[in-house]
C-alpha cells in the first residue's frame, strides 16, 4: 500500500514528546513490511534536507509555492515542505500555531498521492476535511488521537478565509464548536477511521471527564473509533546495548542495573531508593501530585529524580523542592536525552501520576529498563502495567493515593521478580503494526 503519514513531530528530526517517538518509529515497521511509506513533516529550520521539488498549494485566497526538502531513511521518504511560519527554532508557538499548521496542512495535502493518508493530532486534522471535499488524492484517511486536550480552535470566518472551505461546514455536526471552528473535531467527523493510542483512552474520551468537550462527538462517532496501543522502539530502548547508560544489563544478567542505580545516586547526590520522573512539566502529568507527596516519599525511604521542562510555575516548584529537600529531590530542568536514559536505567521505580494519559511511553521504557512504574490507573497506563506484577497502579491522581502506592512499592518483598517480569514484557510494535495494517486494508478494500 502507498501510505502517507502527516504530523508535527518525528524522531530523529524534532521531538517534544511521545508523538515524535510514534511517528519516527511505526512508519519504519510498515516500510519493513513492504509498504511504500512517506512521512510529511513541516520544514523546520533545524532540519537539513536537500530540496528536491516545489509544492504548489492554495492558502488564504492565493496560490503559493514552497520548496520541499527530502530525505530517505529506513525505507521511508521524508518530505519537509518549507512553508512560512517554520523558520524559527520553535516547534510549537502558541497562538500562531493555527495559521502555521493550516498552511502546513494545505501544502502537505498537495503533496499526497496515496492509498491511505494517516494524520496525527489537530496539527494535521484538516487533511481529512480537505479529503472529504475532494481536495486530496487518496482513497482513505485515518486520524490518530494522541491527545485530545489540544484541538486547534479558531475564529470561524478567519478559518474559512485561510482554507477556502465552504461556510456549509460550520454546523454542529461538522466543524462548528461553540461559535468557533475546532479543527480536531473536523478531523474526527470526516476521517474514515479514528484511532486512539490505547484501548482504555478510546473509552475514556466518550466521558465528560476525559473528552475535553468533545465527548459527545466521540460518542456519536464511536463506531469508527478504535484504540490501538503504542509500542516503543525496542532496539533503541534496550538496556543490553544502550551506549548512554553507565553499564549494560538484561533480564538474565541484572548486575549492570545495580551499577546504574549506584551511579545515578552519585551523579544526582540522592540518598535512599530513587524514584525517577522524566516528563513534560504540564498539568496533565501530575508533577504537582509528586511534589505534594514528598513528605510521604521521604518517610518511605525514597528520593525523587525529576527531569523535565515545560510550565514555568511547575519548573520553579520543582526547583524549590530540590532546594528544600537536598539529598532527597533532584531537579534537572530541560530536555536531556542522555540523562533520561540514565534515569530509566538507574531509578528503582518510576512515577507517573498523570491526570490522563492517552498512552504514555515512559512507563513502557522504564519497564524495559527494569524500573517498575508507579502509575495512576488511566488510559495507556492501565493497558501496559500489570498491578503488583510489573508495577503499581493506583486510583485517583492525588497525593494520598500516590503515597499509598509508593508505600506498597517500599514494602514489596520481591522487587527482583517484578523487575524481571517488567523487563520481559513485549512492548514491540509488532502487534500494533498488524492492527494498523488491517485497518488500512479494510478501509481501502471497502473504499
Ligand atoms: P507525552 O508525549 O505526553 O509527553 P509520552 O510518555 O508519550 O508522553 O512520551 C514522552 C517522550 O518524551 C518519551 O520518549 C520521554 O523519554 C521523552 N521525554 C519527556 N521529557 C523529556 C526530557 N525532559 N528529557 C528527555 N526526554 C524526555
Ligand atoms: C501524547 C500523549 C501520550 C502518548 C503520546 C504518543 O503526547 O500525551 O500519552 O504516549 O502522545 O502517542
DSSP summary character for residue 361: S
Ligand closest in space to the Cα of 306: 1
The ligand 1 atom nearest the CA atom of 197: 7
Ligand 2 centroid to 288 CA: how many Å?
19
pLDDT at position 127 is 98
Kind of pairing, strands 392-394 and 329-333?
Answer: unpaired
Pocket of ligand 2 (CB under 6 A): 17-19, 22, 146-147, 197, 230, 357-361, 380
Per the listing, cell 496542512 goes with 105
Ligand 2 centroid to 349 CA: how many Å?
21
pLDDT at position 269 is 98
Instruction: Measure CA of the first residue to CA of the last residue in the chain; give whole Å.
Output: 14
The pLDDT > 90 percentage for the chain reads: 100
Distance CA 336, CA 216 (A): 39
Kind of pairing, strands 153-154 and 180-182?
Answer: antiparallel
Ligand 1 centroid to 21 CA: how many Å?
9
H-helix or E-strand spanning residue 3: strand 2-6
Whether the predicted pLDDT of 447 surpasses 60: no
The mean per-residue pLDDT over the stretch 295-318 comes to 98
The overall average pLDDT reported for the chain is: 97
Nearest CA to ligand 2 atom 3: 360
Listed in sequence order, the residues at least 6 apart from 68 whose beta carbon sits closer than 8 Å to its beta carbon are 43, 51, 52, 53, 54, 55, 79, 80, 81, 82, 111
Q: Read off the pLDDT of residues 224-247 as tens digits, 9 standing for 90 and up.
A: 999 999 999 999 999 999 999 999
- The Cα angle at residue 129 between residues 125 and 130, in degrees rounded to 5: 105
Q: Read off the pLDDT of residues 165-199 as tens digits, 9 standing for 90 and up.
A: 999 999 999 999 999 999 999 999 999 999 999 99
pLDDT at position 325 is 98
Ligand 1 centroid to 337 CA: how many Å?
9
Whether the predicted pLDDT of 405 surpasses 70: yes
Domains recognised in the chain with CATH numbers: 2-231+430-446 (3.40.50.2000), 255-423 (3.40.50.2000)
Spatial strand order in the sheet of 180-182: 153-154, 180-182, 176-177
The mean per-residue pLDDT over the stretch 319-348 comes to 98
| Per-residue burial over 286-319, b = 16 or more CB atoms within 10 Å of its CB, e = otherwise | bbbbbbbbbebbbebebbbbbbbbbbeebbebbe
H-helix or E-strand spanning residue 190: helix 183-190
Ligand 1 pocket: which of 8, 10, 18 to mutate (most atoms <8 Å of CB)? 18
Whether the predicted pLDDT of 112 surpasses 70: yes
pLDDT at position 253 is 97
Q: Closest by alpha carbon to 329, among 404, 265, 393, 400?
A: 265
Listed in sequence order, the residues at least 6 apart from 199 whose beta carbon sits closer than 8 Å to its beta carbon are 226, 227, 228, 229, 383
- Give 446's pLDDT tier (boundaries 50, 70, 90): low
The pLDDT > 70 percentage for the chain reads: 100
Per the listing, cell 521505580 goes with 349
Distance CA 396, CA 405 (A): 11
Ligand 1 pocket: which of 148, 150, 278, 432 to mutate (most atoms <8 Å of CB)? 278
Ligand 2 centroid to 357 CA: how many Å?
7
In 107-245, beta strands by DSSP E: 113-120, 137-145, 153-154, 176-177, 180-182, 193-196, 225-227
415: burial class by Cβ within 10 Å (0-12, 13-18, 19+)?
Answer: middle
Ligand 2 pocket: which of 195, 286, 308, 359 to mutate (most atoms <8 Å of CB)? 359
**C-alpha cell of residue 210:** 476525559
The ligand 2 atom nearest the CA atom of 197: 12
Ligand 1 centroid to 435 CA: how many Å?
24
Angle, helices 156-163/97-111, rounded to nearest 10 degrees:
30
Pocket of ligand 1 (CB under 6 A): 17-19, 21, 278-280, 307-309, 335-337, 340, 359-362
What sign does the CA torsion over 73, 77, 81, 86 have? negative
pLDDT at position 311 is 97
Angle, helices 337-346/255-268, rounded to nearest 10 degrees:
120
Tell me if residue 240 falls in helix, strand or coil: coil
The ligand 2 atom nearest the CA atom of 201: 9
The ligand 2 atom nearest the CA atom of 361: 10
Amino acid at each position: 500500500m502507498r501510505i502517507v503519514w502527516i504530523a508535527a513531530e518525528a524522531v530523529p528530526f524534532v521531538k517534544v514528546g511521545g508523538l515524535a517517538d510514534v511517528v519516527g518509529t511505526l512508519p519504519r515497521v510498515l516500510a519493513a513490511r513492504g509498504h511504500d511509506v512517506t512521512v510529511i513533516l513541516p520544514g523546520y529550520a533545524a532540519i537539513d534536507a536537500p530540496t528536491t521539488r516545489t509544492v504548489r498549494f492554495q492558502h488564504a485566497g492565493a496560490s503559493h509555492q514552497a520548496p520541499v526538502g527530502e530525505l530517505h531513511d529506513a525505507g521511508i521518504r521524508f518530505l519537509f515542505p518549507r512553508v512560512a511560519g517554520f523558520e524559527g527554532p520553535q516547534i510549537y508557538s502558541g497562538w500562531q500555531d493555527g495559521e502555521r499548521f493550516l498552511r502546513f496542512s494545505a501544502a502537505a495535502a498537495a503533496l499526497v498521492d496515496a492509498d491511505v493518508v494517516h494524520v496525527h493530532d489537530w496539527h494535521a486534522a484538516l487533511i481529512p476535511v480537505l479529503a472529504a471535499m475532494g481536495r486530496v488524492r487518496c482513497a482513505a484517511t485515518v486520524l490518530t488521537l494522541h491527545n485530545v486536550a489540544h484541538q486547534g480552535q479558531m475564529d470561524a470566518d478567519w478559518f474559512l478565509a485561510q482554507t477556502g472551505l465552504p461556510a456549509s461546514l460550520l454546523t454542529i455536526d461538522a466543524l462548528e464548536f461553540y461559535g468557533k471552528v475546532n479543527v480536531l473535531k473536523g478531523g474526527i467527523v470526516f476521517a474514515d477511521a479514528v484511532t486512539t493510542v490505547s484501548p482504555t483512552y478510546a473509552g475514556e474520551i466518550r466521558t465528560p471527564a476525559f473528552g475535553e468537550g468533545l465527548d459527545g462527538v466521540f460518542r456519536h462517532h464511536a463506531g469508527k473509533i478504535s484504540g490501538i496501543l503504542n509500542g516503543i522502539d525496542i532496539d533503541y530502548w534496550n538496556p543490553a546495548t544502550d551506549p548512554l547508560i553507565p553499564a549494560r544489563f538484561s533480564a538474565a544478567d541484572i548486575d549492570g542495573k545495580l551499577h546504574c542505580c549506584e551511579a545515578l545516586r552519585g551523579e544526582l547526590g540522592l540518598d535512599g531508593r530513587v524514584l525517577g520522573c522524566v516528563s513534560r512539566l504540564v498539568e496533565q502529568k501530575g508533577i504537582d501530585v509528586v511534589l505534594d507527596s514528598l513528605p510521604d516519599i521521604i518517610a518511605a525511604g525514597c528520593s525523587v529524580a525529576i527531569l523535565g521542562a515545560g510550565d514555568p510555575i511547575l519548573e520553579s516548584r520543582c526547583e524549590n523542592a530540590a532546594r528544600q529537600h537536598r539529598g532527597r529531590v533532584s531537579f534537572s530542568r530541560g530536555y536531556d536525552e542522555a540523562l533520561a536514559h540514565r534515569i530509566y536505567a538507574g531509578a528503582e521505580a518510576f512515577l507517573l501520576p498523570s491526570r490522563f494519559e492517552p498512552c504514555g511511553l515512559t512507563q513502557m521504557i522504564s519497564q524495559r529498563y527494569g524500573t517498575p512504574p508507579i502509575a495512576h490507573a488511566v488510559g495507556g497506563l492501565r493497558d501496559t502495567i500489570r498491578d503488583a506484577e510489573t508495577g503499581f497502579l493506583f486510583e485517583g491522581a492525588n497525593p494520598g493515593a500516590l503515597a499509598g502506592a509508593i508505600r506498597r512499592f517500599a514494602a514489596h518483598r520481591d522487587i527482583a521478580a517484578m523487575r524481571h517480569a517488567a523487563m520481559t514484557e513485549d512492548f514491540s510494535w509488532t502487534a500494533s503494526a498488524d492492527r494498523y495494517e488491517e485497518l488500512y486494508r479494510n478501509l481501502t478494500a471497502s473504499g
